Structure 1
Amino acid sequence: MNISLLLQMAAEAEPDRIGLVCDGHRWSYGALLGAARGAAAHILETGATHVALLDESSEAAAIALFGAALAGVPYVPLNYRLADADLGALLKRVAPACVIGDVDRVQRLDPRSGHIPLSRGDFVACAEALAVGAPEDPREGEGIAAQIFTSGTTAAPKAALLRHANLLSYILGTVDFASASPEEAALVCVPPYHIAGIAALMSSIYAMRRIVLLPAFDPDAWLELAASERASNAFVVPTMLARIIARMDAGHRPDLSSLQAIAYGGGRMPLELIERALALLPDTGFTNAYGLTETSSTIALLGPEDHRAALASDDPAVRARLASVGKPLPTVEIEIRDEDGRVLPAGERGEIYVRGEQVSGEYRERKALDAGGWFPTRDAGWLDAEGYLFLAGRADDVIVRGGENISPGEIEDVLLTHPSIADAAAVAVPSVEWGEAVGVAIAARAPHPAPSEDELRTLIRNRLRSSRVPERIVVVDALPYNEMGKLLRREVKKLFQTG
């Protein structure tokens, strides 16, 4: 099957129903399908091997995604925030591509690779013009629906491949067709080059929930759009939710009575933040969604009832689940393994492995699945006795002090209990005596001053073992995050470089 089936089913069921809203323009499912078919005709005419999007979220993202699927070529959303050198290297890896968005940048960075660049407006107009008489049956191609470049740190980004079968397994296993009423709307503000943005388009179209796109996130714009479009659902990353809650606490509270559900993911959610969000929006159901690009989005969920039960419980084990990512989806399996590949029992930390039809584990460069079909996520974590999954950062982020493995998360959790600390990160720093030691970067909570180093070390020593006491401490105005709310630990480590 082909992911274009999702849009085709929606268009055949209710062609005139509004499926997408962006910058005041409204698209019906029938119009979206027609444009996707027109886009496929254009892609086939050009002979492009990929369809790349170098732009913010708009109707062009949906048309390009499904147009590429119909044409049988991979859809490649590119991070328009990348530096020129990095973006130019990625453009060369997908040539010749039909590139939608920043024409000037494509022509400047990679003028000799045979790309066919079109601005957003020209692409949409071309797709609409070719809609009549465009091919309706999808081409098979390589069976690759999307190619998403992972963020590289010390090496070139890997090209993660998601096949139609992977994406459809996720959507068909988690969403009921046409399950949304005509009044329901999903507010989408994540970048189109992230798997969450692609999953939001597909799942909302299959549910027939109107998609309301916010091309560039701003908390005031988010609040106003949620109110004016009567959004029923939304997905945010923790840094976005923090800014939304801050604006609400400052008194900016438009009518959000229609907001039934908010899903969040993509980064670590501070307990204080989710507790405040639950208090401000008591009638909204919150869901923590954990997933990766290579797993076609979500593989574990902490649902609304889990949030409420954890918040109301006096049992420390149940209360702790508010910091978990919930239980695995019924369609996937999760194991925790040690460095030797041994499956660990509940409560023991190790690397998270996942298996299921939605799990690709495939890169253009290589396949990452083991012989049993398991994918090593490189995320560290553990399962509690009831099967709730807890994250402990990236496996590569573990601090190895004198042969002892230390999770940054356990130190950060303790630091964040201090009322004067707004944010904290623990990383490995070089140590002559121990090989690696703990370095801590903190941001103070205005208007409070940062705690003294002695106070911080005493806090850690009293709550954890002495090996967790930081050797070095720096105070910053704010910690570095990417646009999806992930802490950039490599940038934090630079704060400790000297000379």
Structure 2
Amino acid sequence: MSIALILEMAVSANPDRTALVSGDLRLTTQQLSDLADGGAGVIAGSQAKHVAYVGTGGVMLPLLIFASARAGLAFTSLNYRLSAESIQALIRRLSEPLVVVDRRYRQMVGDCGKQIMVSDDFVEAARSSDPVTEIADPDSVAIVLFTSGTTSEPKAVELSHNNLTSYITGTVEFDSAAPADAALICVPPYHIAGVGAALSNLYAGRTMVYLPDFDAEEWVRLVNRERITTATVVPTMLDRIVSVLEKGHHELPSLRNLAYGGSKVGLPLIRRALELLPNVGFVNAYGLTETSSTIAVLTPEDHRRAHRASDPAIAKRLGSVGQAVPGIELQIRDERGRVLPPGEPGELFVRGAQVSGRYTGIGSVLDEDGWFPTKDIAILDEDGYLYISGRSDDTIIRGGENIAPAEVEDVLIEHPDVRDVAVVGVDDPHWGQAIVAVVVPADGADPDPEELRAHVRENLRGSRTPDRVVFRAELPTNATGKVLRRELAQALRATPAGQ
């Protein structure tokens, strides 16, 4: 099944429903489909072999996804926050692309690509171009996304039409939304969550309201103005939204579900959000680019039960990413590839039709049985709840002992003087690596490093106690809230102990 069929089904179900709102632009499903038809004609006329986009999204993301699919070409949205040099380097890795770029980023792309069009010009051309419709091979590549490259050079992940439609049809009920349902989308267009939001909301029948440049005050205003029922945010966005709600005493009466994901979220922030929005169903969604988005979900009911639970085993689930979605299998393996029992930490492996595990220039990394190695260290409990400890690359080896940064972070974030924290390993001549906790103090707090070290020692084995505690005004993160640990480690190596 081609992803183009998702738009065709939406048009067939309700051609006059508002499909998307982007600034002053509003398009029905039929209008979006007509524009995608014309866009396919523009793409075909360019003689390109790939379609790339550099910009903030909005209408351009779903338009180019479906126009590319109807033209029979793969589509890639690139990170507009990168340097011009980095953007151009990624474009050169694509085969003869048509590059569509928002006007404010035009200089960033230089002369890369077979042809370059400013987004507004592409839309105007699409309005008058003859339509083109190619029937794509379901096994062909529909979307190519570059990984964030937080620990290595970005890889180009290839997602087939079958991967993406398997995810959508396995997790979303077609045309299941109420007529007034609307989703607020502010995740980046170059992230798998942005692609998934465009496909899943259209398939469900929700109006997509885009906020390309996130601002917490504007987010709250849009929720109320557009009567948003569903939204997806990354942790840094949730933190800012909570701050706005606390200061402004806002109410969000229309909001029913709020999904978060992209990186780990501190439990104090989740508890505060649950208290501020008691009528909202929170969803923790965990997934990877290589898995076509979400593979595990902590549901609203899971959140409510864990938040009010007196049983520690149930309360602990608030820190999990939930259970596998339909069609997904999970395994935890040790370093020798043996499948581990519940409660044992190891590397997470994933299998299912939505899982690609394929990279341009590398090929498939699935094993002979179709399992994908996520490189995430995780635990599955007896009831199938999944707990992510972090990337295997982030593991600190101190005195021969493997230490997951997350277990130290989970303790420190509960200290009242800590707003945010990241734990990294730095080279140490005695221990091999030393544990360094980088702490963002809570507003108005002046934490004592020794008190924070004692707090960890009281809750974990002594070997987990940070060797150093340093303070920063904020942590370096990417657009989805993932801490840039390499940057932190490099900065710490350049900073003498005691500073």
CA drift at 1:471: 1.6
Is contact 1:77-1:192 (8 Å) kept? Answer: yes
The alignment's TM-score, normalised by the length of structure 1, stands at 0.96
Distance change >3 Å, CA 114–CA 448, structure 1 → 2: closer
Is contact 1:72-1:141 (8 Å) kept? Answer: no
Q: Helix, strand or coil: the match of 2:231?
A: strand
CA drift at 1:329: 0.9
Q: Helix, strand or coil: the match of 2:212?
A: coil
Equivalent-residue separation in structure 2 for 1:108 and 1:33 (angstroms): 30
CA drift at 1:139: 4.0
Residue matched to 1:217 = 214
CA drift at 1:95: 4.2
Residue matched to 1:250 = 247
Equivalent-residue separation in structure 2 for 1:103 and 1:18 (angstroms): 26
Work out whether 1:438 is the aligned partner of 2:432.
no
My pick for the range that moved more, 51-60 or 219-228, is 51-60
CA drift at 1:264: 0.7
Residue matched to 1:199 = 196
| Structure 1: gaps of 5 or more residues | none
1:468 aligns with one of 464, 467, 471: 464
Residue matched to 1:323 = 319
Aligned positions of 1:254-265 closer than 5 A: 255-265=251-261
For each residue in 1:60-105, what CA deviation from the matched residue of structure 2 results, as whole angstroms up to 9, or x when unmatched? 2111000101111111000000012211111111142111124685
Equivalent-residue separation in structure 2 for 1:25 and 1:105 (angstroms): 21
2:392 aligns with one of 391, 395, 416: 395
Work out whether 1:303 is the aligned partner of 2:299.
yes
Residue 265 of structure 1 aligns to which amino acid in structure 2?
A: G
Residue 461 of structure 1 aligns to which amino acid in structure 2?
A: R
Distance change >3 Å, CA 194–CA 387, structure 1 → 2: same
Residue matched to 1:485 = 481
Equivalent-residue separation in structure 2 for 1:334 and 1:118 (angstroms): 43
CA drift at 1:140: 3.8
Residue matched to 1:208 = 205
Distance change >3 Å, CA 141–CA 169, structure 1 → 2: closer
Residue matched to 2:116 = 117
How high is the sequence identity, in percent, across the aligned residues? Answer: 47
| Structure 2: gaps of 5 or more residues | none
Equivalent-residue separation in structure 2 for 1:104 and 1:280 (angstroms): 37
Aligned positions of 1:35-50 closer than 5 A: 35-50=35-50
Aligned positions of 1:130-209 closer than 5 A: 130=129, 133-140=130-137, 143-153=140-150, 155-209=152-206
Equivalent-residue separation in structure 1 for 2:464 and 2:11 (angstroms): 57
Equivalent-residue separation in structure 1 for 2:278 and 2:152 (angstroms): 44
Residue matched to 1:82 = 82
CA drift at 1:138: 2.7
Is contact 1:73-1:141 (8 Å) kept? Answer: no
Residue 184 of structure 1 aligns to which amino acid in structure 2?
A: D
Residue 54 of structure 2 aligns to which amino acid in structure 1?
A: L
Equivalent-residue separation in structure 2 for 1:34 and 1:312 (angstroms): 49
CA drift at 1:407: 0.8
Equivalent-residue separation in structure 1 for 2:233 and 2:327 (angstroms): 24
Residue matched to 2:72 = 72
Residue matched to 1:13 = 13
CA drift at 1:141: 9.2
Work out whether 1:361 is the aligned partner of 2:357.
yes
Distance change >3 Å, CA 116–CA 343, structure 1 → 2: same
Residue matched to 1:374 = 371
My pick for the range that moved more, 431-440 or 207-216, is 431-440
For each residue in 1:438-469, what CA deviation from the matched residue of structure 2 results, as whole angstroms up to 9, or x when unmatched? 11111111211122x22122222221111112
Work out whether 1:406 is the aligned partner of 2:403.
yes
Equivalent-residue separation in structure 1 for 2:152 and 2:295 (angstroms): 26
Residue matched to 2:274 = 278
Equivalent-residue separation in structure 2 for 1:108 and 1:382 (angstroms): 42
For each residue in 1:384-416, what CA deviation from the matched residue of structure 2 results, as whole angstroms up to 9, or x when unmatched? 121100010111111111221111111111111
Q: Helix, strand or coil: the match of 1:176?
A: coil
Residue 35 of structure 1 aligns to which amino acid in structure 2?
A: L
Residue matched to 2:51 = 51
Q: Helix, strand or coil: the match of 2:149?
A: coil
Q: Helix, strand or coil: the match of 1:393?
A: strand
**How many pairs are equivalent?**
494
Residue 6 of structure 2 aligns to which amino acid in structure 1?
A: L
Equivalent-residue separation in structure 2 for 1:154 and 1:443 (angstroms): 22
Residue 397 of structure 2 aligns to which amino acid in structure 1?
A: V
CA drift at 1:114: 4.4
Is contact 2:40-2:133 (8 Å) kept? Answer: no
CA drift at 1:494: 2.2
Residue 299 of structure 2 aligns to which amino acid in structure 1?
A: G
Superposed CA RMSD: 1.5
Equivalent-residue separation in structure 1 for 2:352 and 2:91 (angstroms): 31
Equivalent-residue separation in structure 1 for 2:81 and 2:107 (angstroms): 17
Is contact 2:171-2:326 (8 Å) kept? Answer: no
Q: Helix, strand or coil: the match of 1:250?
A: helix
Equivalent-residue separation in structure 2 for 1:448 and 1:329 (angstroms): 41
Q: Helix, strand or coil: the match of 2:242?
A: helix
